[in-house]
Amino acid sequence: MRTSARLCTLVAATAIGLMAVATPASAHVSVQPEGTAARGGYATVNVKVPNERDNASTVKVEMSLPTEHPLSSVMPQPVPGWEIEVTKAPLDKPLEVHGRKITEAVSKVSWTATGKGIEPGYFQKFPLSVGRLPENTDQLVLKSVQTYSNKEVVRWIDVPEEGQEAEHPAPVLALSAADDGHGTAGPSPEAAPAPAAQDSDVKKADGNGTDTTARWLGITGLLLGALGIAAALFTGRRRTDA
């Protein structure tokens, strides 16, 4: 009986451990460039917003741009089913861009759903053309706010300390060195892409579902294997005792 109890404990512990490994990390709002985002240049970036709730849709996304590194050009790409609002704020220190003085810059971009929004199990990408990217930093912290249809608000504004993981990390755009040293890396504002179709996002969401299914199938196999080993050990123990 003692051996049986020990085996059951071993199997249970193994199962719990495997379940912990199988549980995917919580997704969060993120921003990634198409290609590279080089210091001193222009880039097209995608703001990726996953829906983390099973009983509500994402109906609004707000992204703030850092005032310490103002951008002279921020152009959102139209997204079907979403209304876009661009908010500007005056600059303490004007910018000189192509011989032109810029006295205000975009401080926030908001996307508000005009339809169902981002439903459970899906994500949406919101493209932005941005520049000129600053040359005196290696990243831009883009604090964001996600609002659900049930009025829940999630603030992705935490800036983690080195070696720590924040509960609600702010999206960070990593900046690379300029390709040619003249600040021309990435597309210019005039090269904004055409509106993206929603189908591409749906396919990506389906791909995430496939990955999850494969992960659980693998874990199920490991659990069955652990149970088989435990049963074999128990049977062998009984024969030895006999």
Instruction: For the chain, give every domain's residue range.
Output: 2-21+211-241, 26-196
Reply yes or no on whether the pLDDT at 62 is more than 80.
yes
Query: Counting Cβ atoms within 10 Å, is residue 103 exposed (0-12), middle (13-18) or buried (19+)?
Result: exposed
DSSP of 144-192: EEEEETTS-EEEE-B-PPTT---SSBPPEEE-BPPSSSSS--S--GGGP
CATH number of 26-196: 2.60.40.2230
Q: Whole-angstrom Cα distance, residue 90 to residue 104?
A: 4
Predicted TM-score of the model (pTM): 0.68
The radius of gyration of the chain from alpha carbons, rounded to an integer in Å, stands at: 25
* Mean pLDDT, residues 52-81 taken together: 95
Q: What is the pLDDT of residues 165-194, one digit of tens each?
A: 888 999 999 999 976 554 444 444 444 444
